[in-house]
Amino acid sequence: MKQFATLIKTLDSTNKTTLKVNALTKYFEQAEPKDKVWTIAILSHRRPPRPVNTTLMREWASELAKIPLWLFEESYHIVGDLAETIALVIPPSEESSEKSLHQFLDEIIKLKKQPEEDKKAYLFENWLSLNYYERFVFTKLITGSFRIGVSQKLMTRALSKATQIDEDILAYKLMGNWEPVKTSFNRLILEENKSDYLSKPYPFYLAYAIENEPQDLGTVQEWAAEHKWDGIRAQVIIRESELFVWSRGEELVSDKYPEFESFTEVIPDGTVLDGEILPFPKGEIGTFKDLQTRIGRKNVSKKLLEKTPVILKAYDVLEWKGKDIRSRSFKERRQILENLYTKTQDLDIPLQLSETISFSNWEEAAKERERSREVKSEGLMLKRWDSPYLVGRKKGDWWKWKVDPLTIDAVLTYAMRGHGRRSNLFTDYTFGLWDKEKNELVTFAKAYSGLTDAEFRKVDAWIKRNILERFGPVRSVKPQHVFEIAFEGIAESKRHKSGVATRFPRILRWRQDKKIEDANTLEDLKALIP
């Protein structure tokens, strides 16, 4: 634990990628194998289930610190991080534990089934016997929220330097549903285990948003264009007559989409398709809201399958007849995919082709992009015809050219403090629109991004002078400021007071030129629903 805590302290204290990679590399060279496996798991979001809820942790920490709970809660909202707050308020200790990281994690996993009094005793014992940073890391392991500015890609780079194994190979090894309690460092990283590859997906290739004008990319003929579908990015794998469906979040979701089992009867073994899972009610593409009825369901009932069927909109093939073909050009891969689709399109399977679109000039492409919402897409994808299928997010060959967001002018009504470096500022905002019949503001969205640091400080100073009421960490404020809110999608919702749910809301700009009477109404918002 001492070694892992030192690593986290180093990673958390710098923004320089080189220093982070060096610290991780040194750790992977020196740590014991079981600790290395758990570190890889933690940094790739494979954490053990939380054994204690945060409500109890806050109560117990305030008791141990001998301060009232209200004071702990106020401190927590100022600090912005529960583990850091606990590490600060509990009496300091100069002691240090000799237990390893994996020993702590074994104990934490077993703790979940223990009675409440045993959980409390375990936390008290460790909070009092660890120094400040070890206590901070220990609490992070308990809560499961490890955000330290280290991506899996950065971690993989360091692991590559420590083991001399190619980054792409490591990225592939770390895909899938391996569990840190059931594997070793040797098996996970160093060994070649062919049986492990039966269900394993490839690392996804991700696109950057287009930065300048599309004309800057060269001639339009160099690029394939297709619509950017708004569903769940997935790889569908058929190997040895078995089907596996992986989401981009590295979750095996085969059981959520039983419709795809029919692929095994008509698609050859050794095929991996990259595409988008889309809702397809009544024989046409639905909305993301339709798809949400399928997400998270443990059991997919016959009624749900009938109400919200899905299709795979395929746009790439990564493996063909058992061979990895990612190094071939996009044009070659598309030809294989189109030939496959031609042979299966008259069969009763939920597979469709994401059509590529050709243009004579960029003006034609822009017009197609403008009609994206008509075809239920988010814009266009631009892929260079000669591009291979790479790993992760790379610039140059794939770009997403999204349609301009929907926007509405809304009034700031509530605020909360932010997190991390913004924990002392009110930066999490709730916005309202006018209900014309009742002549009152009705909340419809929350947003916490889009302003500059200087603007956030200015709004924060105003909020602190204009608080009307307090509801725990939430503050209602005098309705005075108008902001333009952008969002990607919109749908009716019975769960929201406004009757509307927006997708990915964020602040576009502070409309200091407008009075609150000039803000939009709920009717204006609902008029944007397709």
Considering Cα of 434, then 440, then 443, then 449, what sign does the dihedral take?
A: positive
Q: Do 72 and 61 contact (CB within 8 A), yes or no?
A: yes
The pLDDT value given to residue 195: 66
pLDDT, residue 320, reads 97
191 within 8 A of 38, measured Cβ to Cβ:
no
Q: What is the mean pLDDT of residues 448-464?
A: 94
pLDDT (mean) for 422-444: 91
pLDDT tens, position by position, 358-412 = 999 999 999 999 999 889 899 999 999 999 999 888 888 999 999 989 999 999 9
Closest CA to 8 of 84, 121, 108: 84
pLDDT (tens digit per residue) in 7-45: 988 988 888 889 999 999 999 999 999 999 999 998 888
Quote the percentage of the chain above a pLDDT of 70.
Answer: 98
Give the 3-state secondary structure of residue 262. helix
Average pLDDT over all residues of the chain: 90
Taking the whole predicted model, whether its pTM rises above 0.75 is answered as no
Q: What is the pLDDT of residue 319?
A: 97
394-423: b (≥16 Cβ within 10 Å) or e: eeebbbebbbebbebbbbbbbbbbbeeebb
Q: Rounded to the nearest 10 degrees, how much is the dihedral formed by the CA atoms of 252, 258, 263, 265?
A: 120
What's the pLDDT band for 292 if we cut at 50, 70, 90? confident
- The residue written with tokens 């960490």 in the block is 473
Given this model, what pLDDT does residue 196 score?
64
pLDDT digits (tens, 9 = 90+) for 119-173: 999 999 999 999 888 999 999 999 877 766 777 788 899 999 999 988 878 877 8
Residue 79: what are its φ and ψ, rounded to 5°? -70, -45
When mean pLDDT is compared over 37-46, 177-186, 347-356, the highest value belongs to 347-356
Of 414, 429, 403, 410, the C-alpha closest to 489 is 403
pLDDT at 78 over 80: no
More confident residue, 254 or 102: 102
CA distances for 386 relative to 203, 208, 334, angstroms: 20, 18, 11
